[in-house]
Chains A and B, each alone.
Chain A
Amino acid sequence: MFLLIGFGTEGTFSYFRRYVAEQDCRYDILDLAELRFCDSAEISYRPHDLSVTIGNKSVEFNNYTAFYSRMYYSRLGSPVRNDALSRLISAVTSYLEDTERLVVNRPSAGTGNINKLVHLRTLSKYGFRIPQTFIYGTGQSARQVVRADGKWISKSCSSIKTKAAVLDEALYSKLDNLSVCPSVFQQRIKGADVRSHVVGNEVFSERILSSRIDYRYADGSETPNQYEAFDIPPHIAAACLAYCKDQGLLFAGFDFKISEEDGDWYILEANPMPGYHTYDRRLDQQISSALKKLLAGSAPEPFVTANRRPSVNPWNNGIS
């Protein structure tokens, strides 16, 4: 039996929760969103042993053979609820880091994407091609390289979610604000986007044709995005798998651009907690299916398997 840990109100988590509810598998849920409304909560931690109670629901972690975690901090509306979530994350993190059971993903896996430049440096070691990327801290330094010619994208340095923007005249005129805090500038790669999800040893990819700067956000473009299932080149798939293996990731989402100039593949990011549900809907739930198989498949199988253990039926005078 596997345990899903996350916010029942969050898109990807509730999507996977609905998916497994329709499958023939044993699972349980630790819904962190319940912390917002519960009367009480309790955490009992010893190494390799954790129990959590939120309201009336208790979860003994050692009862599960595998875990899927989409945990992160969020403000819950009161200091005591915020503290409960923070401590709960700390306790679950510790348990998931130390347990020998299957965890998708261990909290320490692939966390380098908190820092965009450091993350790209790590990815470059796996043979991925990286767009030219700079952090500038003064307008003067930035103006030596970047131009308001549509060939540069502005992003944040950290993992704070920001919308990428093309460096246009309006942004260019504000470059001196970089002295307030530095920011990332990245060569704009024009061409199709590809999103690949690695689940265990499988790779599921989708190509996105979009006229937007960032296909995920509407920006006034008239043309709708086009999506299609896509096979990525073997050397790119191999690099994704190698990265996941080294980082201890069982599940990750990779973002690529295919340059329309030369056909080269550029990596933008590898996400250790991918919000994958919109892609999965279009890919006939292949990602969810692989994820469920990974989690359910880790249950230990006894020597005498279920098909050799017929149930006893008292209404049928013997064995049914």
Chain B
Amino acid sequence: MSDEAINSREATVCMVRPTKRTHQHLISVLNDCGVPMIDVASCDDIDFHSVTLNDTELSLGGVPINEITHVFYFGSPRLTSSAHPTHDEIYIQQEWEQALLAGITTSSHLRLLNYAASVTWNRLLLQPMRQLGILSRLGWRIPSVSIKYDCLSDCQSKVRHPEPTDREFVLIGRRRHFWPDHHDHFRLLSEQLASAITKTQIYLRHADLDWCVVPIGIRQDTVFAFGLSFELPNVFLPADLGQLVRDVIYD
């Protein structure tokens, strides 16, 4: 089903997250948007029967997957909070992750939002230096990175040139971008970064992404980008996050 067809229907959004403690601000944003929302933060919320090459029998939060139109996927529910999971726990977590993603991506009637950053077979996007490479290609100034390891004394030092100062974030969606505040300072930044932001929006469309967050640092009036994130952090205004959510669901 095309995005247009999906978006013309009444939206039913599911958020899959590792635990109940994460992404709480987004739950509020979705509720404020008035979008019917299913929260999946535990394996108990998943009723997994079967997935084949072209059919899925899976319910999330008690709702059959064919009634869900959009999925925000921030990681499969975590099975253990242990910092040192056993081999079995690691295996079970990975199997759940892949089974769930197979089910979600097999369902042609729903849209997995920020697809390229959500599917774990595209994990290159999450590597910090890969992110710098992408940002550089999109016209952002980026720092050089040098890391030294002293393996005998178990220490390391990381030097970025330049080091970020006056850190900010910019949230970029396919249609518009958002700053943490509506202060004039950010309007000036928008002007300086107009070209890089436009190229990033084009990249989002090509790369099957709906949004990204770029942490930036300002050094002597020059803006440097330090990475990419695909979370939706609460440094942004709830109204702006709501606008982004409406953009990705209804556009």
Contacts and interface: CB of A to CB of B under 8 A. Distances in A.
Interface of A: 35, 38-47, 78-81, 83-84, 87, 89-91, 93-95, 97-98, 107-108, 111-118, 120-121, 124, 130, 132-138, 141-142, 156-158, 160, 180-183
A90 B129 contact: yes
A118 to B, nearest CB: 6
Interface size class of B (residues with CB under 8 A): 35 or more
Chain A CB within 10 Å — which of B53, B121, B127, B142 has the most? Answer: B121
B148 A134 contact: no
Contacts of B137: 47, 98
A36 to B, nearest CB: 9
A156 B95 contact: yes
Contacts of A158: 94-95, 97-98
A228 B92 CA distance: 38
A192 to B, nearest CB: 24
B154 A87 contact: no
A182 B79 CA distance: 14
Contacts of A43: 145-147
A45 B129 contact: yes
Contacts of B49: 136-138, 141
11 contacts: A43-B147, A80-B149, A94-B129, A115-B119, A116-B102, A117-B51, A117-B98, A121-B106, A133-B53, A135-B51, A135-B103
Given A42-B147, A87-B147, A138-B48, A111 B121 contact: yes
B151 A160 contact: no
Nearest to A121: B53
Nearest to A79: B154
A117 B106 contact: yes
Contacts of B146: 42-45
B99 interface: yes
A41 B149 contact: yes
